[in-house]
Copies of this chain bind each other. A is one copy, B any other.
Amino acid sequence: MPDPAPDPAIAFHAHDHAHCCGGLIAEAEAIAASRSVRLTPVRRRVLEILLEEHRALGAYDVLERLARDGFGNQPPVAYRALDFLVDQGLAHRVARLNAFMACTHPGHSHTPAVLICRLCRTVAEAPGSRVRAAIDAEAETAGFAVERTTVEVLGLCPACREGAR
C-alpha cells in the first residue's frame, strides 16, 4: 500500500489538503469500525471541521459551524463530540489554547509534541517519543510515576520564520 511514513509536521508544508482530509476521515472510519464505536454524523462533522484547516479551534468555534449545518447549537453537543474524538485519539486537546485539533496520525497511540505557530496559528505534531523518554528520565529521578504528558511548543513555523526575517 502506498502510505509510507508520513511527514510528522505535514501541517507546515504545502500538500494536497483535500487528499489529506479525505484520508484521515477514511482512517477514522476504519478505526471506529475496528473498535466498535460509532463515528456518528455529528462526530464525523466535527472531525471534518477540525480537519478543514491545520489549526486548533475552540469548542465554540466548532459549535458555530455545527449549528450552520443544522446540528444542535448548545455547548454540550460540541464538547461531547470533541471528547469522543480525543478519547479515540482522533483529535488532541491543546491546553495552552483551550482548543482542539485533528490528529494527523491517528491509530498510532502517541502523545505528540504540539507545535503552535504564534503568527499564523498553524498547529502541527512532532514525534513525542524522544521527549517522552527525557520526561521519563526526570520523573524517575523524582520518584514520580508518569501517566499522561502535555508537551506544547509556541514559536514560529517554517513559513512565518522566513517571513519574520
Contact = CB atoms under 8 A, between A and B. Distances in A.
A107 interface: no
Interface residues of A, number: 39
A25 interface: no
A145 B138 contact: no
Interface in A141-165: 141-158, 161
Nearest to A154: B148
Contact of A130 (B115, B137, B142, B146): B137
Contacts of A158: 142-144
B146 A155 contact: yes
A18 interface: no
Contacts of A154: 146-150
Given A137-B130, A138-B126, A148 B153 contact: yes
A82 B133 CA distance: 32
A49 interface: no
Given A9-B142, A96-B150, A113-B138, 18 more contacts: A8-B141, A9-B143, A95-B96, A117-B144, A118-B147, A127-B138, A131-B138, A131-B151, A142-B158, A143-B158, A144-B153, A144-B157, A144-B158, A147-B154, A147-B155, A148-B155, A149-B151, A149-B152
